[in-house]
Protein backbone atom coordinates (compact mmCIF):
# COMPACT_ATOMS: atom_id res chain seq x y z
CA UNK A 1 0.00 0.00 0.00
CA UNK A 2 1.27 3.49 -0.84
CA UNK A 3 2.37 5.46 2.19
CA UNK A 4 1.43 9.14 2.26
CA UNK A 5 4.51 11.10 3.28
CA UNK A 6 4.61 14.84 2.75
CA UNK A 7 7.35 17.41 3.16
CA UNK A 8 6.90 20.11 5.82
CA UNK A 9 6.22 22.65 3.05
CA UNK A 10 3.48 20.47 1.56
CA UNK A 11 1.87 19.95 4.98
CA UNK A 12 1.93 23.71 5.62
CA UNK A 13 0.38 24.32 2.20
CA UNK A 14 -2.39 21.79 2.92
CA UNK A 15 -3.00 23.39 6.32
CA UNK A 16 -3.23 26.87 4.78
CA UNK A 17 -5.60 25.71 2.03
CA UNK A 18 -7.78 23.86 4.54
CA UNK A 19 -7.92 26.88 6.84
CA UNK A 20 -8.78 29.18 3.93
CA UNK A 21 -11.61 26.85 2.85
CA UNK A 22 -12.91 26.68 6.43
CA UNK A 23 -12.87 30.49 6.61
CA UNK A 24 -14.69 30.70 3.26
CA UNK A 25 -17.27 28.13 4.24
CA UNK A 26 -18.01 29.74 7.59
CA UNK A 27 -17.91 33.37 6.47
CA UNK A 28 -20.98 35.61 6.50
CA UNK A 29 -20.51 36.52 2.84
CA UNK A 30 -20.17 32.94 1.59
CA UNK A 31 -22.98 31.51 3.75
CA UNK A 32 -25.49 34.32 4.32
CA UNK A 33 -28.34 31.95 5.21
CA UNK A 34 -26.36 29.64 7.49
CA UNK A 35 -27.66 29.44 11.04
CA UNK A 36 -24.26 28.51 12.49
CA UNK A 37 -21.92 31.44 11.94
CA UNK A 38 -18.24 31.29 12.78
CA UNK A 39 -17.84 31.82 16.51
CA UNK A 40 -14.67 32.11 18.59
CA UNK A 41 -13.77 28.76 20.14
CA UNK A 42 -11.34 27.99 22.92
CA UNK A 43 -9.98 24.50 23.38
CA UNK A 44 -7.84 23.17 26.19
CA UNK A 45 -5.84 19.96 25.90
CA UNK A 46 -3.40 17.89 27.93
CA UNK A 47 -1.13 15.05 26.88
CA UNK A 48 -0.99 12.06 29.25
CA UNK A 49 1.67 9.36 29.10
CA UNK A 50 0.59 5.72 29.17
CA UNK A 51 2.99 3.51 31.17
CA UNK A 52 4.33 0.33 29.52
CA UNK A 53 2.60 -1.93 32.04
CA UNK A 54 -0.74 -0.50 30.89
CA UNK A 55 0.18 -0.57 27.18
CA UNK A 56 1.00 -4.29 27.46
CA UNK A 57 -1.48 -5.17 30.18
CA UNK A 58 -5.17 -5.87 30.44
CA UNK A 59 -7.50 -3.92 28.15
CA UNK A 60 -9.71 -3.06 31.10
CA UNK A 61 -6.75 -1.29 32.75
CA UNK A 62 -6.01 0.56 29.51
CA UNK A 63 -9.52 1.97 29.22
CA UNK A 64 -9.52 2.61 32.97
CA UNK A 65 -6.34 4.67 32.51
CA UNK A 66 -8.04 6.68 29.75
CA UNK A 67 -11.00 7.32 32.07
CA UNK A 68 -8.66 8.34 34.91
CA UNK A 69 -6.82 10.78 32.63
CA UNK A 70 -10.12 12.27 31.48
CA UNK A 71 -11.23 12.62 35.11
CA UNK A 72 -7.95 14.32 36.02
CA UNK A 73 -8.26 16.73 33.09
CA UNK A 74 -11.86 17.58 33.97
CA UNK A 75 -10.86 18.22 37.57
CA UNK A 76 -8.01 20.52 36.49
CA UNK A 77 -10.45 22.42 34.26
CA UNK A 78 -12.98 22.62 37.11
CA UNK A 79 -15.65 20.91 35.00
CA UNK A 80 -15.87 17.53 36.73
CA UNK A 81 -19.48 18.03 37.80
CA UNK A 82 -20.71 19.27 34.41
CA UNK A 83 -22.40 17.13 31.78
CA UNK A 84 -20.49 17.65 28.55
CA UNK A 85 -20.34 15.93 25.18
CA UNK A 86 -17.06 14.02 25.00
CA UNK A 87 -15.32 12.35 22.08
CA UNK A 88 -12.61 9.69 22.04
CA UNK A 89 -10.30 9.05 19.09
CA UNK A 90 -9.51 5.34 18.78
CA UNK A 91 -6.69 5.17 16.22
CA UNK A 92 -6.48 1.42 15.71
CA UNK A 93 -7.53 -0.77 12.76
CA UNK A 94 -11.17 -1.71 13.03
CA UNK A 95 -13.67 -3.62 10.93
CA UNK A 96 -16.72 -1.49 10.32
CA UNK A 97 -19.83 -3.59 10.97
CA UNK A 98 -22.43 -0.86 10.51
CA UNK A 99 -22.41 2.77 9.48
CA UNK A 100 -21.66 3.88 13.05
CA UNK A 101 -20.16 0.74 14.64
CA UNK A 102 -16.84 -1.09 14.38
CA UNK A 103 -14.82 -3.79 16.15
CA UNK A 104 -11.09 -3.80 16.88
CA UNK A 105 -9.07 -5.91 14.42
CA UNK A 106 -5.69 -5.73 16.15
CA UNK A 107 -3.65 -3.53 18.44
CA UNK A 108 -0.85 -1.44 16.88
CA UNK A 109 1.60 1.30 17.99
CA UNK A 110 3.23 -0.83 20.73
CA UNK A 111 -0.17 -1.57 22.32
CA UNK A 112 -0.80 -5.23 23.15
CA UNK A 113 -3.65 -5.01 25.64
CA UNK A 114 -5.22 -8.35 26.47
CA UNK A 115 -8.91 -9.12 26.60
CA UNK A 116 -11.78 -9.95 24.29
CA UNK A 117 -12.69 -6.95 22.16
CA UNK A 118 -14.82 -8.62 19.53
CA UNK A 119 -17.83 -6.64 20.70
CA UNK A 120 -18.59 -3.21 19.30
CA UNK A 121 -16.38 -0.81 21.22
CA UNK A 122 -16.96 2.49 19.46
CA UNK A 123 -19.03 4.71 17.29
CA UNK A 124 -17.07 5.33 14.11
CA UNK A 125 -15.70 8.83 13.64
CA UNK A 126 -13.13 9.82 11.07
CA UNK A 127 -9.72 9.81 12.82
CA UNK A 128 -8.73 12.90 10.85
CA UNK A 129 -11.27 14.92 12.82
CA UNK A 130 -9.71 13.94 16.13
CA UNK A 131 -6.23 14.62 14.87
CA UNK A 132 -7.24 18.01 13.53
CA UNK A 133 -8.90 19.01 16.79
CA UNK A 134 -5.77 18.30 18.84
CA UNK A 135 -3.15 19.69 16.44
CA UNK A 136 -2.82 23.01 18.31
CA UNK A 137 -3.05 24.95 15.06
CA UNK A 138 -1.96 27.76 14.57
CA UNK A 139 0.63 27.48 17.39
CA UNK A 140 2.19 24.41 15.80
CA UNK A 141 2.96 24.68 12.10
CA UNK A 142 4.45 21.23 11.58
CA UNK A 143 2.67 17.94 11.12
CA UNK A 144 1.78 16.16 14.41
Summarised one tens digit per residue, pLDDT across range 7-36 is 899 999 999 999 988 887 766 666 666 666
Residue ranges covered by each domain of the chain: 52-126
Computed over every residue of the chain, the mean pLDDT equals 74
> Which H, E and C letters describe 9-21, residue by residue?
HHHHHHHHHHHHH
10/4 Cα distance (integer angstroms): 12
For the entire predicted model, the pTM comes to 0.52
91-to-39, 94, 115, 130, 141 alpha-carbon distances in Å: 29, 9, 18, 9, 22
Report domain 52-126's class: alpha beta
> What is the pLDDT averaged over residues 79-98?
78
Write out the catalytic residue numbers.
Answer: 109, 127
Amino acid sequence: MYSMRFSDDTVKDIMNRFRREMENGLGRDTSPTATDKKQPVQMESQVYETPDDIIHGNGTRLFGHVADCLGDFMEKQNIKDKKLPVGFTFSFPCAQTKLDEAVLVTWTKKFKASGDYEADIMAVVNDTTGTMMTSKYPKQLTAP
